[in-house]
């Protein structure tokens, strides 16, 4: 049997790659307009980075990572997300010593051992941005603004932005006590995972998808109702900035993150059509993360956006991405001398920036025309012995069917004029 791609991975074939190119270029363009610069980090990192940077109690670290020992005995992990590597790089390369905020974006593959389904893969891709060095809520709004501008430019309009505040370590510690008080009596009715969360990460219980847990926590106290004055001011600041930017939002107190270094803003952008895997973008503030990874205390905010889920959303909204145009020129040649002339001319055209191709299969003239048609060539240049004799070529406009004689010595200029 032939070898198949591993479960949860997908090839991007040429028939689809143009869509990837399109969304990637658009994402780059928009980030740059917002003053964000691209950063690229390696596909793998020391495993410890994710233990500390994503958190021991998260699903990612507990069961989803692709970790292995390399031949030198190092513990290595394929990146399951983009933020921790960017923070590692920010610290290691002392980007905090440059003018702040340091505003970065990335396009990266990610790897998570999950149950594959529509919109959920083991090897997938993310767009992400991170802004370091300021705790101003105007940057939280700016980060959200990038995602919303991107969706808008793509023509995706029926998305819902949900925002919340998960507080800061100070108000959260007090809140956690209230939360645990509420949950303590119900502990034996919660699922096993939530029982484990109770001590280490109680806020995550609010995020549990189990029906029985959902039922138990119907009147759970929310962080948002217990945030301190500073967190409240920042949350109001975020809402004010979003309003100024004319970005609609709903406040959703059930969005949680639960790790100490996540602070204040948490948000999700949800598509209503793609069902269970409806979160197309998730992000928020992590003022404790850089310190936690050994850097100088520096605030940060960002998001991660799944590219496969983005493409699904486009598909579900019947949004077509412009197909790349076909070839400019196909050269059809018959005979030995004409074939040599085709090689010479073809390379010249390509050097001139004209997209061009010729037959490599020894096809008949008729078959070459058929192939040119399949390649959506705008023009076909026909070279035969008779033509060469007269120092001309036949030029056929593939759209109109019009055919004309062109002097071979003028061909490049003539083609350029027509392709304008
Ligand atoms: P989910 O709740 O769907 O598991 P998540 O909270 O794990 O999402 P994040 O870690 O915030 O997701 O990642 C950001 C984005 O990356 C998600 O909103 C989603 O679009 C995408 N994403 C996450 N996991 C996968 C996956 N296994 N396959 C494809 N896309 C994914
Ligand atoms: Mg997940």
Per residue in 223-279, pLDDT tens? 999 999 999 999 999 999 999 999 999 999 999 876 778 899 999 999 877 666 789
Of all protein residues, whose CA lies closest to atom 20 belonging to ligand 1?
306
- Nearest alpha-carbon partner for 305 in 110, 113, 66: 110
**Stretch among 78-92, 199-213, 223-237, 267-281 having the lowest mean pLDDT:** 267-281
Task: Tell the residue number behind the tokens 């949860």, with chain if given.
Answer: 8
Q: What pLDDT is stored for residue 21 in this prediction?
A: 97
Is 199 in contact with 176 (CB distance < 8 Å)? no
Per residue in 283-310, pLDDT tens? 999 999 999 999 999 999 999 999 999 9
Sheet holding 263-271, edge to edge: 37-38, 102-111, 123-132, 300-306, 279-285, 263-271, 159-165, 250-251
Domains and CATH numbers, the chain: 14-168+227-316 (3.30.930.10), 329-419 (3.40.50.800)
Centre of ligand 2 from the C-alpha of residue 162, in Å: 17
Q: Could you tell me the pLDDT band of residue 343, with boundaries at 50, 70 and 90? A: very high
Centre of ligand 1 from the C-alpha of residue 261, in Å: 19
Query: Of the bound ligands, which one is closest to the alpha carbon of residue 110?
Result: 1
Q: How distant is the alpha carbon of residue 350 from its chain centre?
A: 32
Instruction: Please give the annotated binding residues for L-histidine, written as ranges.
Output: 81-83, 112, 126, 130, 257, 261-262
Query: Of the bound ligands, which one is closest to the alpha carbon of residue 54?
Result: 1
Centre of ligand 2 from the C-alpha of residue 64, in Å: 9
Please determine, for residue 402, whether its predicted confidence score (pLDDT) is greater than 80. Answer: yes
Query: Of the bound ligands, which one is closest to the alpha carbon of residue 8?
Result: 1
Pocket probe for ligand 1: among 144, 306, 311, the residue whose CB has the most ligand atoms within 8 Å is 306
Q: 406: how many CB neighbours lie within 10 A of its CB?
A: 17
Pocket probe for ligand 1: among 118, 166, 276, 309, the residue whose CB has the most ligand atoms within 8 Å is 309
Pocket probe for ligand 1: among 12, 111, 114, 282, the residue whose CB has the most ligand atoms within 8 Å is 282
Per residue in 121-131, pLDDT tens? 999 999 999 99
Q: What pLDDT is stored for residue 274 in this prediction?
A: 63
Mean of pLDDT values over 332-355? 97
Please determine, for residue 204, whether its predicted confidence score (pLDDT) is greater than 90. Answer: no
Distance, CA of 103 to CA of 66 (rounded, Å):
29
Q: 35: how many CB neighbours lie within 10 A of its CB?
A: 10
Centre of ligand 1 from the C-alpha of residue 306, in Å: 6
In 14-134, where does DSSP find H-type helix? 14-33, 47-53, 59, 83-92
- Nearest alpha-carbon partner for 167 in 158, 176, 159: 176
Query: Of the bound ligands, which one is closest to the alpha carbon of residue 113?
Result: 1
305 Cα nearest atom in ligand 1:
15
Average pLDDT, the chain: 95
Is 77 in contact with 126 (CB distance < 8 Å)? no
Q: What pLDDT is stored for residue 261 in this prediction?
A: 86
**Stretch among 108-122, 202-216, 364-378, 379-393 having the lowest mean pLDDT:** 202-216
Query: Of the bound ligands, which one is closest to the alpha carbon of residue 306?
Result: 1
Q: What pLDDT is stored for residue 275 in this prediction?
A: 63
Mean of pLDDT values over 95-105? 98
Q: What pLDDT is stored for residue 260 in this prediction?
A: 75
8-state DSSP, 1: -
Per residue in 363-374, pLDDT tens? 999 999 999 999
Is 391 in contact with 407 (CB distance < 8 Å)? yes
280 Cα nearest atom in ligand 1:
20
Percent of the chain surpassing pLDDT 70: 99
Model confidence pTM above 0.85: yes
Percent of the chain surpassing pLDDT 90: 86
Q: What pLDDT is stored for residue 75 in this prediction?
A: 98
Q: How many helices (H) and strands (E) does the chain have?
A: 15, 16
Centre of ligand 1 from the C-alpha of residue 278, in Å: 9
- Omega of the bond leading into 115 within 30 degrees of 0 (cis): no
Centre of ligand 2 from the C-alpha of residue 126, in Å: 13
Q: What pLDDT is stored for residue 208 in this prediction?
A: 87
Is 189 in contact with 216 (CB distance < 8 Å)? yes
Pocket probe for ligand 1: among 66, 111, 268, 304, the residue whose CB has the most ligand atoms within 8 Å is 304
Distance, CA of 165 to CA of 143 (rounded, Å):
15
In this structure, the residues whose C-beta lies within 6 A of any atom of ligand 1 are 81, 112, 114, 119-121, 124, 126, 277, 279-282, 304-306, 308-309
Tokens of 315: 């598909």
282 Cα nearest atom in ligand 1:
11
* Coil, helix or strand at residue 176: helix
Please determine, for residue 176, whether its predicted confidence score (pLDDT) is greater than 80. Answer: yes
């Amino acid at each position: 049997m032939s070898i198949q791609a591993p479960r949860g991975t997908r090839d991007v074939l040429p028939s689809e790659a143009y869509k990837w190119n399109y969304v990637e270029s658009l994402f780059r363009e928009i980030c740059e307009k917002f003053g964000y610069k691209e950063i690229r980090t390696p596909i793998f990192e020391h495993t410890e980075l994710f233990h500390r940077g994503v958190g021991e109690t998260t699903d990612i670290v507990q069961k989803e990572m692709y970790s292995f020992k390399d031949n030198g005995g190092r513990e290595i992990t394929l990146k399951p997300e983009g933020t921790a590597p960017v923070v590692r790089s920010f610290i290691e390369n002392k980007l905090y010593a440059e003018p702040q905020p340091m505003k970065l974006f990335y396009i990266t593959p990610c790897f998570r051992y999950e149950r594959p389904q529509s919109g959920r893969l083991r090897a997938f891709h993310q767009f992400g941005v991170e802004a370091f060095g300021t705790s101003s809520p105007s940057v939280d709004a700016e980060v959200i603004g990038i995602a919303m501008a991107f969706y808008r430019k793509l023509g995706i309009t029926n998305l819902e932005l949900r925002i919340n505040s998960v507080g800061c370590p100070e108000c959260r510690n007090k809140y956690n006590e209230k939360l645990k008080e509420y949950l303590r009596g119900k502990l034996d009715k919660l699922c096993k995972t939530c029982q484990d969360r109770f001590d280490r990460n109680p806020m995550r219980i609010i995020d549990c998808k189990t029906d029985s847990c959902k039922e138990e926590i119907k009147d759970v106290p929310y962080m948002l109702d217990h945030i301190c004055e500073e967190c409240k001011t920042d949350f109001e600041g975020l809402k004010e900035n979003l309003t100024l930017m004319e970005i609609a939002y709903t406040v959703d107190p059930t969005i949680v993150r639960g790790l100490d270094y996540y602070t204040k803003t948490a948000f999700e952008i949800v598509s209503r059509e793609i069902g269970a895997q409806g979160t197309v973008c998730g992000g928020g503030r992590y003022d404790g993360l850089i310190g936690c990874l050994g850097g100088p205390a520096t605030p940060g905010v960002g998001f991660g956006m799944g590219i496969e889920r983005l493409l699904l959303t486009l598909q579900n909204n019947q949004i077509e991405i412009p197909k790349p145009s076909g070839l400019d020129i196909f050269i059809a040649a018959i005979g030995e001398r004409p074939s040599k002339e085709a090689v010479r001319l073809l390379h010249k055209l390509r050097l001139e920036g004209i997209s061009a191709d010729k037959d490599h299969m020894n096809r008949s003239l008729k078959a070459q025309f058929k192939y040119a048609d399949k390649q959506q060539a705008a023009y076909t240049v026909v070279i035969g012995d008779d033509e060469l004799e007269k120092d001309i070529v036949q030029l056929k406009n593939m759209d109109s069917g019009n055919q004309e004689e062109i002097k071979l010595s003028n061909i490049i200029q003539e083609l350029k004029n027509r392709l304008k």
